[in-house]
Structure 1
Amino acid sequence: MNISFQLQDAATFATPLLAVFAVDIATGPAEQPSPALLSTSDAPAAVASPWLTSGEFKAALGETLLLHAPHGIKAERLLVIGVGKLSALSIHQLRKGAGVAVRTAKARALTGLAIAFPDDMALADEHMDALPGELTARAITEGTILADFEVDTYRSDRKDSPLTAVTILYNDPERSTQAHLQQGFHEGRILAESQNFARSLVNEPGNILTPTELGRRAAAMAAETGLACEVHSTDKLKELGMGAFLAVTQGSPEPPALIVLRYEPENAPVSPSEEAAPVLALVGKGITFDTGGISIKPADSMEKMKYDMAGSAAMLGAMRAIALLKPTIRVLCVVCSAENMPDGRAYKPGDVVTAMSGKTIEIINTDAEGRLVLADGLHYARTLGATHLIDAATLTGAIGVALGLLNAGLFSNDDETTQRFLDALPTTGEQFWRMPCTDDYRDQIKSPIADIRNTGATRYGGAITAAMFLKEFVGEAPNLPAAKWIHLDIAGTAWSDEPQPWISRGPTGTAVRSITDWARSYAN
């Protein structure tokens, strides 16, 4: 799909489908919905007016009104897309609205689509700040590209999407903001394509995307974007003393992959002070298939465990975006990839393994393998010079129990580092909720035989005890100061079983945009 940005009045653009956004301007909960177009163009408003006043279209988020042969408009069809209440209007609603436009066009096998850039002059003064031009351009571009992703990769009757061209139209006679809008369009394209790259990795079946293949695809992406890349396997893990990571790999004939990417811009500051010149590390759990090992999972829905490498996919997607956006900050990425399988060589409950940091770990449950590979990945990133760490993992089912399927869990040992991440969320539209990660939970992972155990002492607070386990590997260690750290548990949000009007079912690519913007914040 070719996507472009053009300065032109939407009413004069010939296209099979023109999409225009609408909001509900009713102010009180008891008031009847009052839809209004986010456009000052007279032609679309005149065409849609009878339906906007009839009460049958309410401008709810994702609601659509399709009008054929609209008078006074060169488009063959006019699609009015609701983006919800004006009082709650945000660029994320427009991101979803753009996705609705694409999904609607694809469902009707249309070849072309134009989206009218929302005109904030149509808003009351108190709402005009809700749609800053550059971020609006970015969000609409992201929504457009994300909506084009499909999961039917291996269907024999799969056809290419008929939608080949999308044009975002902006009517600005003075062209005073063109540079800002083009920048937003540029960033949105990179971020959405990087998120779709992550989604394509998660969508692959486990027999195709093995750890070795994940390493190949990471290396190919690095070559395309100018990142340095190394891919190691079993011998390197042994050399580094990654006993926790190695334990997980024992039950599979597929060799593990330790993937290391580096982004080192020439103009990045270098200083003995980490505050002046931090080094960021993105660490991802890359379990390409998770049976649970000896503590085997139930058969029901086990096929989805190909998505257990979604954390690593998010990090690879973020590294792609960082390489193309070129912030002035050094960033490295460590992906620990393996299969968790239950053969005769597999690690067992009751085993004790020694992590790279020297900590000993009693294995209680072999299905708590993600924290083991991350333990060595986090420590290794610190030996490479990282001062700030962020990891992402489909780590616990408990996070879905705690937060449902709308928010991912965020855990951290540093308030300022966390706030930088949270500050990005109004722009990225992704939802994360900070969870406790305080030392009074540490007793839950104490072991009578080793330094720590790999699950909590009880079933309560499972996502927290998993985070507490990881926290053991970001604190002070011999010859290493403590690092500032964020852990993202994305198990409840990395995969969606239900399609939405603006996005397909399947892998979501969650966290790519937020991780990228968090990293970019250090370049300022």
Structure 2
Amino acid sequence: MDFELKTLTPHQTASTVADALLVLWPDAADQAAPALDDPLTLWARGAVADEDLPAGAGQCLAAHRLPGVKPRRVVLARCGDGSPSQVRKAVQAAWALLKAGQPKTLLVLASAASGAAVAAAVQALADASYVYTATKSQAKPRSLHKATLAVADATAVRSAFARAVAVTRGVELAKEWANRPGNHATPSLLAEAARQLAKQPRVSVDVLGPKDVAKLGMGAFLAVAQGSEEPLRFIVLKYQGAAKSSAPVVLVGKGITFDTGGISIKPAAEMDEMKFDMGGAASVLGTFAALAELQPALNVVGLIPSCENMPDGRAVKPGDVVTSMSGQTIEVLNTDAEGRLILCDALTYAERFKPRALIDIATLTGACVIALGGVRCGLFANHDDLAAALADAGQAALDPAWRMPLDDDYAEGLKSHFADMGNVAGRQAGAVTAAKFLQKFVGQQRWAHLDIAGVAWKSGAAKGATGRPVPLLVQYLLDEVDRQALQPAAGLGAQPIKSAKAAKPPKSDKAAVAAKPTKAGKAAGAGSR
């Protein structure tokens, strides 16, 4: 979908041709001096005076062929105090009324909106109108092709608008891949999506196969992948927006493209949803799509260990001991705690980049879903400033996180009689003990872990991927540009971004590409629950 930003008065908006019009009405407008006499303002003031538009963000009033207004369908939506969260609620409610008419073009009058509120309107509209079509033979695509935001001063909010459009692209890429069935989103196809991203300026990619991973000594990653016919892929994306000497932020996304639980097999009910266990990987792809569009002055590395977790005769068994890339041994007590096994090797690999910050993103534990539900993701960090920066970014992006503890006492349950550690520590505090496991592989690096099992996917009537936490990650990275400008990277171990030693694309990749991913995938590109 295309977005456009224009400086338009209410009079000009009323005379602009479009299939539909959404008027965002803040509470403050109820008491404003009646200086405007355009048909939209007069209609809105009359609706308020007659109490046809009750107070409260999300309250709406629809009109058909309003005199003096060119768009045929008009919806007036209250947006409360005009804050981003209230604007988002208003847009979501308004679209519920507008979508039945399947408008192709939409005007959004947001005269008094701040930059953050405009961004919220863009993202809410994109989210509400998104339609998945990749594997449907007769699906109707998104009806809305273009949305124009009419504001009092486009120049004042243009930067926020541009950010929002880029974030929207990234969110939709993340949704696309997390929504695809496991046979349409294999590790090889994820690698192809990354290669498509690498066609963008400043983005490059290396893809490592099983032999490359074996040479690196990634025994934990290999153990998870060995039960599947689909070959693993270790994807190394790089965005070079700053000097080569500037230390990068490294993002690590869990890429289990389907999770059966392995030998510790999951219940059949809702196992189909385990296609979204690569939500962390999808969010890394989406973040890179946004970076390619925004071109910030920052270096970012994206690491995606990707494989399936399957239960065949070669699969890793409960009680097996594997050796990670770090040299630490792990007793696999539960094969459904596989995400941390692939992540631990990727975290060790990340050390070579000497990152200014290392952040992993994973649909890691059902325990986090129980703790936080679908509102906030779990945030774990070994440095207070990093935790605060991520939490602030989440609040600003309407993609909130909640900091969880990392007390050393939580690691007691990971002790093993037969290895350096077990991969699970019992039912209590499962999200925390999973994070404590990962922490054993980050050393002294500034590290954070985002458990997105509760926020990356919705079940029920709204079933599908959410694209979170792409907004949080993009906001954090853009904020990091500002922090980096104020505090040079001299003391952060800055090093050039090294190139991964990747083999040529193996035959399995070529076969996957031959399957021709859908146009949406090309354009864009929970496990241990």
TM-score, scaled relative to structure 1: 0.86
Q: Could you tell me which residue of structure 1 aligns to residue 523 of structure 2?
A: none
Q: Is the 8 A contact 1:496 1:507 kept in 2?
A: yes
Q: Pairwise mapping of residues 80-479 of structure 1 onto structure 2 (< 5 A)?
A: 80-83=76-79, 85-86=80-81, 89-119=82-112, 133-172=114-153, 178-265=154-241, 267-268=242-243, 270=245, 277-456=246-425, 458-475=426-443
Q: Is the 8 A contact 2:254 2:339 kept in 1?
A: yes
Q: Is the 8 A contact 2:390 2:472 kept in 1?
A: yes
Distance 1:150 1:161, change over 3 A: closer
Q: Offset at 1:348?
A: 0.5
**Per-residue deviation, residues 270-290 of structure 1 (Å, max 9, x unmatched):** 3xxxxxx44210000000000
Distance 1:40 1:59, change over 3 A: farther
Following the alignment from structure 1 to structure 2, what is the Cα–Cα distance between the partners of residues 515 and 38? Answer: 41
Q: Offset at 1:73?
A: 2.7
Following the alignment from structure 2 to structure 1, what is the Cα–Cα distance between the partners of residues 161 and 33? Answer: 19
**Per-residue deviation, residues 108-129 of structure 1 (Å, max 9, x unmatched):** 122221000241xxxxxxxxxx
Q: Is the 8 A contact 1:349 1:366 kept in 2?
A: yes
Amino acid at match of 1:6: K
**Per-residue deviation, residues 354-382 of structure 1 (Å, max 9, x unmatched):** 11001110111000000000000111011
Distance 1:295 1:511, change over 3 A: same
Following the alignment from structure 2 to structure 1, what is the Cα–Cα distance between the partners of residues 165 and 334? Answer: 42
Distance 1:390 1:252, change over 3 A: same
Distance 1:201 1:39, change over 3 A: farther
Following the alignment from structure 2 to structure 1, what is the Cα–Cα distance between the partners of residues 70 and 293? Answer: 37
Q: Offset at 1:165?
A: 2.4
Q: Could you tell me which residue of structure 1 aligns to residue 465 of structure 2?
A: 507
Q: Offset at 1:353?
A: 0.5
Following the alignment from structure 1 to structure 2, what is the Cα–Cα distance between the partners of residues 311 and 149? Answer: 20
Amino acid at match of 1:160: P
Q: SS state of the match for residue 340, structure 2?
A: helix
Following the alignment from structure 2 to structure 1, what is the Cα–Cα distance between the partners of residues 179 and 3? Answer: 24
**Per-residue deviation, residues 284-335 of structure 1 (Å, max 9, x unmatched):** 0000000000000000000000000001101111122123222222110100
Following the alignment from structure 2 to structure 1, what is the Cα–Cα distance between the partners of residues 139 and 306? Answer: 30
Q: Pairwise mapping of residues 43-54 of structure 1 onto structure 2 (< 5 A)?
A: 43-54=39-50
Following the alignment from structure 1 to structure 2, what is the Cα–Cα distance between the partners of residues 36 and 52? Answer: 10
Residue 447 of structure 2 corresponds to residue 485 of structure 1:
yes
Amino acid at match of 1:522: E
Following the alignment from structure 1 to structure 2, what is the Cα–Cα distance between the partners of residues 433 and 304? Answer: 24
Distance 1:70 1:339, change over 3 A: same
Following the alignment from structure 1 to structure 2, what is the Cα–Cα distance between the partners of residues 40 and 323? Answer: 44
Structure 2 residue runs without a partner (length 5+): 483-529
Following the alignment from structure 2 to structure 1, what is the Cα–Cα distance between the partners of residues 383 and 307? Answer: 30
Q: Is the 8 A contact 1:35 1:58 kept in 2?
A: no
Hey, which of these two has a bigger chunk of helix by percent? 2
Question: Which deviates the most, 66-75 or 100-109?
Answer: 100-109
Following the alignment from structure 2 to structure 1, what is the Cα–Cα distance between the partners of residues 364 and 199? Answer: 30
Distance 1:306 1:13, change over 3 A: same
Q: SS state of the match for residue 409, structure 1?
A: strand
Q: Offset at 1:268?
A: 3.1
Following the alignment from structure 2 to structure 1, what is the Cα–Cα distance between the partners of residues 14 and 34? Answer: 11
Q: SS state of the match for residue 224, structure 1?
A: coil
Distance 1:505 1:304, change over 3 A: closer
Question: Which deviates the most, 331-340 or 179-188?
Answer: 179-188
Q: Which has the higher contact order (CA 8 A, sep 6+)?
A: 2
Amino acid at match of 2:117: T
Q: Pairwise mapping of residues 60-79 of structure 1 onto structure 2 (< 5 A)?
A: 60-79=56-75
Q: Is the 8 A contact 1:446 1:452 kept in 2?
A: yes
Following the alignment from structure 2 to structure 1, what is the Cα–Cα distance between the partners of residues 36 and 380? Answer: 47
Q: Is the 8 A contact 1:340 1:369 kept in 2?
A: yes
Structure 1 residue runs without a partner (length 5+): 26-33, 120-130, 173-177, 271-276, 476-481
Following the alignment from structure 1 to structure 2, what is the Cα–Cα distance between the partners of residues 411 and 433? Answer: 8
Q: Is the 8 A contact 1:263 1:331 kept in 2?
A: yes
Q: SS state of the match for residue 147, structure 1?
A: helix
Q: SS state of the match for residue 450, structure 2?
A: strand
Q: Is the 8 A contact 1:22 1:37 kept in 2?
A: no
Q: Offset at 1:140?
A: 2.2
Following the alignment from structure 2 to structure 1, what is the Cα–Cα distance between the partners of residues 59 and 133? Answer: 26
Following the alignment from structure 1 to structure 2, what is the Cα–Cα distance between the partners of residues 40 and 253? Answer: 70
Give the CA RMSD over aligned residues. 2.2
Q: Percent identity?
A: 38
Q: Is the 8 A contact 1:356 1:379 kept in 2?
A: yes
Q: Offset at 1:153?
A: 3.2
Following the alignment from structure 1 to structure 2, what is the Cα–Cα distance between the partners of residues 168 and 398? Answer: 41
**Per-residue deviation, residues 84-117 of structure 1 (Å, max 9, x unmatched):** x43xx52132234334444543321222210002
Amino acid at match of 2:408: D
Distance 1:416 1:345, change over 3 A: same
Amino acid at match of 2:315: A
Distance 1:447 1:38, change over 3 A: farther
Question: Which deviates the most, 372-381 or 92-101?
Answer: 92-101
Following the alignment from structure 2 to structure 1, what is the Cα–Cα distance between the partners of residues 44 and 117? Answer: 23
Structure 1 stretches of 4+ moved >6 Å: 34-40
Q: Could you tell me which residue of structure 2 aligns to residue 518 of structure 1?
A: 476
Query: Which of residues 2, 10, 15 is equivalent to 1:12?
Result: 15
Distance 1:305 1:387, change over 3 A: same
Q: Offset at 1:152?
A: 4.0
Question: Which deviates the most, 156-165 or 227-236?
Answer: 156-165
Q: Offset at 1:469?
A: 0.4
Q: Is the 8 A contact 2:258 2:308 kept in 1?
A: yes
Distance 1:2 1:321, change over 3 A: closer
Q: Could you tell me which residue of structure 2 aligns to residue 28 of structure 1?
A: none
Q: SS state of the match for residue 198, structure 2?
A: helix
Following the alignment from structure 2 to structure 1, what is the Cα–Cα distance between the partners of residues 152 and 287? Answer: 33
Equivalences, count: 478
